[in-house]
Amino acid sequence: MATAREDRLADEFLSLLTQPMQRKPREAVHRRHTAMMNELRFRRGREDPHLNFLHRKGWSDARFSALFAINCVYQEVLGPLQASSRSCAVGLGTRYPIRHGSLSFDRAHARGVNQTIHAFVALTSRLGFKREWLTRNTCGDLLYYIYRHEREE
């Protein structure tokens, strides 16, 4: 069970990650994070064997919350941006820029997004989280992959 201090630190971490975002993406990240934390609490109540194993390995609710925050930012903001920066075989978005309203998807956009993704993945790694965990969609998916990783260690 998380302490009040752990809850506060987890909330601060999520706030730091989402503070520079506009309202809609920030709200989407917070909604997704809340859903993942609710699923974590549900699984704890059901005595999920993967979660119990991970708690014994030292995973706290605050650590899960931090991972969920990173995952949510990637899923809601950075993943879609990364998809917009991929070049295709005919050069759309690189050799031939795409304009949508005031946005331009071109080489400069791709370069900036790729630098951001690289820095975000480096942060994720320094925190001890695997890159593949960024692409998992639910709390249950993450628990399974973390469990699998911890068992292999």
| Entry pTM | 0.83
For 124, the token pair is 């994720």
- Whole-number mean pLDDT of the chain? 86
pLDDT bucket at 90, cuts 50 / 70 / 90: low
pLDDT at 142 over 90: yes
Q: Are 54 and 143 in contact (CB under 8 A)?
A: yes
Q: What is the CA radius of gyration of the chain?
A: 18
For 74, the token pair is 């990637």
* Averaged pLDDT, 129-152: 95
User: Is the pLDDT higher at 144 or at 93?
Assistant: 144
pLDDT at 89 over 70: no
Q: What is the pLDDT of residue 83?
A: 79
DSSP secondary structure of 71-139 = HHHIIIIIHHHHHHT---TT-BTTTB-EEETTEEESHHHHHHHHHHHHHHHHHHHHTT--GGGGG--SH
User: Is the pLDDT higher at 136 or at 81?
Assistant: 136
pLDDT tens-digit profile of 32-67?
Answer: 999 999 999 999 999 999 999 999 999 999 999 999
> If residue 57 lies in a helix (H) or strand (E), which one and from where to where?
none
Structural domains counted in the chain: 1
Percent of residues, the chain, with pLDDT higher than 70: 80
State the Cα–Cα distance between residues 111 and 114, nearest whole angstrom. 5
- Give how far Cα 131 sits from Cα of 74, 138, 146, Å: 10, 15, 11
Domain that holds residue 93: 4-152
Q: What is the pLDDT of residue 96?
A: 63
Q: Are 124 and 131 in contact (CB under 8 A)?
A: yes
